[in-house]
Amino acid sequence: MRPLCALMMAANLLFLAAGAGAEPTIAPGYRLETTSMPGAAFSGLSRDGEALLVTDLASGRLYRRRADGKLAAFGPAFPHGLDVIGDPTGPYRVVRAGDIHLVAQGWTPVNSDASPLDHALVAIDSAGEVRVISSDFWNPFDFIVAGGTYYVIDAARNSVERVQADGRKNTIITFRRMREATTALRSLSPTEFAEGNSYEVDAVPTGIALRDGRLYVALFGGFPFLAGAGKILSIPEAGGALTPRLEFKGLNAPVDIAFDSDGELVVLEHGTYDQKEGFQKGSGRLLRLDKTTGHRAIILDGLTRPVSVLVWDERQLVVSELGGNLHFLTRESAH
């Protein structure tokens, strides 16, 4: 399943109005500032020195946000638009890696000719020249860079791929389909999900992070996006035939993960899904999970279709929303 198919199936153009609604709420000890760009659909976030890098699925552009808060476009305009089921597609992520910028580009938009940049990991050099590292993906939704190696989430193939700078690629793991409880599914459709039947959905990996030699991966879970069906698994960075280790379960469509300066796992939940309305406004949230105790703290709530979380430094986190919002969450007291 394509990654934003999992995020937006049956929602069509609702992402364009995602910025509407009540303001998010924050945990005590934090301060929140929000900036917005009307018509944008912000996706990926990363840090480049003192600048924030942001991708916009609505325009196909890469932006650099300077210290004065202004957004300046750089690089080419990537293919962008909607796919066959109304999902936004374009540059999902951009990351500075040495003297190049790496971009994960999504699926071919409808009503557009195929491009060499489609479903690819792309490099942009300091002169602005564009080079495709590999287009052997179905939909590369997220990636990280570690020691010159790129670890790429292919959400459509349900896999994690290890990619070298010269394009050599091998699959580290392909996640199995996840079985959902019949009792939960019967609440959606008692006739379709009869008593005693089982139902499996694609794992749909989304966010990825690296910590202490292990790759942590968020499993969003496929349609019908049951509340509490999302998981966080980890695997050795080296790969191998080891069974993934379950770190957390019971999450609501986890779309991105990161480790904060205290070593705690930060998880961004896309939200809860309604069969008639799609992903519900204000149901997304940012959690901090304690691996030792299992404690879950909500540090930012009331988000609508959030996509990425970035740990900026020991005090500040940044969250993007498809409605063109950037949320800057600053910790004012020690935890």
pLDDT in tens, the chain (335 residues): 444 444 443 333 334 334 445 689 999 999 999 999 999 999 999 999 999 999 999 999 999 998 889 999 999 999 999 876 677 899 999 999 999 999 999 989 888 899 999 999 999 999 999 999 999 999 999 999 998 999 999 999 999 999 999 999 999 999 998 887 655 554 555 555 555 566 788 999 999 999 999 999 999 998 888 889 999 999 999 876 678 999 999 999 999 999 999 999 999 999 998 888 888 999 999 999 998 888 999 999 999 999 999 999 999 999 999 999 999 999 986 54
Q: Which residue, 298, 294, 245, is CA-closest to 267?
A: 298
At 152, the amino acid letter reads V
Q: Side-chain half-sphere of 50: how many Cα atoms within 13 Å?
A: 5
Residues 6+ apart with CB under 8 A from 180: 198, 199, 200, 201, 226, 229
Residues 6+ apart with CB under 8 A from 189: none
Neighbours of 69 (CB within 10 A): 11
Residues 6+ apart with CB under 8 A from 163: 121, 133, 134, 143, 149, 150, 151, 152, 169
Total residue length of the chain: 335
Burial status of residue 80 (CB atoms within 10 A of its CB: 0-12, 13-18, 19 or more): buried
